[in-house]
Amino acid sequence: MSIAELSALSLLGLLAWFWFDSLKARETGIAAARNACEREGVQLLDETVAGRSLRLARDEDGRMAIRRAYDFEYSGSGFDRYRGSVVLLGREVTMLDITEHRSTVRQLFP
């Protein structure tokens, strides 16, 4: 096996790992968004999250990990749409925000 073949095979393996890792992280993001929406009594729209950003960051132990940010939409009444977000560092949820509907209610009824 030549160096070029070995490099191509390694690159293909790395891409396959990244794809499967991204799918698992997305599933974690969907589950976190769904659980947060259930706790708040709102509906997760489309039952999915959309990738917003991807970068390397350090975790609490100083190790490099992939930081993924996802956006999703939810509704309080079925007639409105709000944007929420979830951030994962590796496979751990580090931030989840679904507070936009609360600020809108406060503005309507001071």
Look up the pTM and report it: 0.84
Cα(78)–Cα(45) distance, rounded to whole angstroms? 9
Quote the pLDDT of residue 103.
66
Residue 29 has pLDDT above 90, yes or no: yes
Residue 71 main-chain phi, psi, to 5 deg? -110, 155
Look at residue 104 in the predicted model and tell me its pLDDT: 57
Q: What is the mean pLDDT of residues 48-58?
A: 95
More confident residue, 72 or 110: 72
- According to CATH, the topology of domain 3-108 is Nuclear Transport Factor 2; Chain: A, (3.10.450)
Tens of pLDDT along 84-97? 999 999 999 999 99
